[in-house]
Amino acid sequence: MSALVTFRDLIAANRRKSAWLVVGFCVFTTLAILGISLGVIALVAPGALEYWDWRQTAVLTLLAAAISGMVALLAVYRGDRFLLLASGAQPIAKADDPQLYNVVEEVAIAAGIPTPPVYLIDDTAMNAFATGRDPQHAAIAITRGLREKLTRDELQGVIAHEIAHIRNYDIRLMMLLAVLIGTVAVLADFFFQMLRFTGRVRSSSPSGRRRSSAGGGVVALIVTVIALFLALLAPLVAQIIQLAVSRQREYLADATAVELTRNPQGILGALKKLALDTEVLEVANRGTAHMYFVNPIRQYAARGHSIFASHPPIQERIRRLEQLLV
């Protein structure tokens, strides 16, 4: 019973985290848009800030808040489609692979959630991921390599891991984090592009070399420095937070997979096979790597306990699972 309460508490905690993440995402993105927009103005027309009507800041802030809110809603309600499309996953009918669907159905029943639709990624590398916003709107994707190279018990272990992400609401949390990282990165890149552009314009224009008024120049410098700080630091901090959350969720999903299947050997066998797999999943990238069963980008998988690792080391995951056998 205590284990059941723990998992229910986990689901509730993940729901709260998702709600706070949406709020934090909107606030963070609003501030980033506001700061970087003012930075662009400072770069393009330094003197303009001296006469800036700061009531316009309220309008700019509301616009930034509206944009960030729409992006957050888009992440919640359409993020799964974007991820499936980006991975090249295609839906599988039950008639096409009855055994696979039987495995998914039995684990879903054990987890007490609806059976999610299954998608196939046509790649010989072994991997899988779950996506969606809740158990009623979720999906699982596996690679052809995973389907062909694992035994039924091993496949069941991987499917149970992904269904654990669905049941524990990790899919919503991690999808929001992924969109947060992408949005911050786009904002930062936009600022640096403007920085390079205005630098070229000023260097080639005689009027651009003339100094603006002292007051405007000081304000422009301060705003530009703040925007530069945001553009440099925000993506790094956001990514570190995302990856730390991702690593903890993987350990929990491994343990939940054992709870659902009552068979630690299944997921253990799968992890041991994947530890030896050197094939690269071509459709994966750093922005989506945290969604997969194991890190699909092998050069980053070797980072182990680094704060920039999207997954715990496979050997550490194996060690923790083996402790359940003692």
321 by Cβ neighbours in 10 Å (0-12 / 13-18 / 19+) ranks as buried
- The yes-or-no verdict on residue 55 having pLDDT over 70 is no
Cα gap 68→140, rounded to integer Å: 28
Active-site annotation holder among 154, 162, 279, 282: 162
Binned at pLDDT 50, 70 and 90, residue 229 comes out as confident
pLDDT at residue 176 in the model: 75
For residue 254, CA distances in Å to 135, 136, 205 come to: 18, 22, 60
- Check if 105 is active-site: no
3-state secondary structure of 129: strand
Every domain of the chain and the residues it spans: 2-75+176-234, 90-171+246-323
In the chain, the amino acid numbered 266 is: G
- For residue 289, the 8-state DSSP code is G
CATH superfamily of 90-171+246-323: Metalloproteases ("zincins"), catalytic domain (3.30.2010.10)
Residue whose pair of structure tokens reads 């779950």 in the numeric block: 130
User: Per the structure block, which two tokens stand in for 53?
Assistant: 């009507």
Three-state secondary structure call for residue 131? strand
Using CA atoms, how far residue 117 sits from 59, 141, 228, in Å, is 44, 9, 44
pLDDT at 276 over 50: yes
pLDDT on residue 323: 82
**Does residue 133 have a pLDDT over 50?**
yes
| Statement: residue 2 has pLDDT above 50 | no
List pLDDT tens digits, range 162-194. 999 999 888 888 777 777 777 777 777 777 776
**How large is the average pLDDT for residues 118-137?**
94
Q: How far apart are CA 313 and CA 305, in angstroms?
A: 7
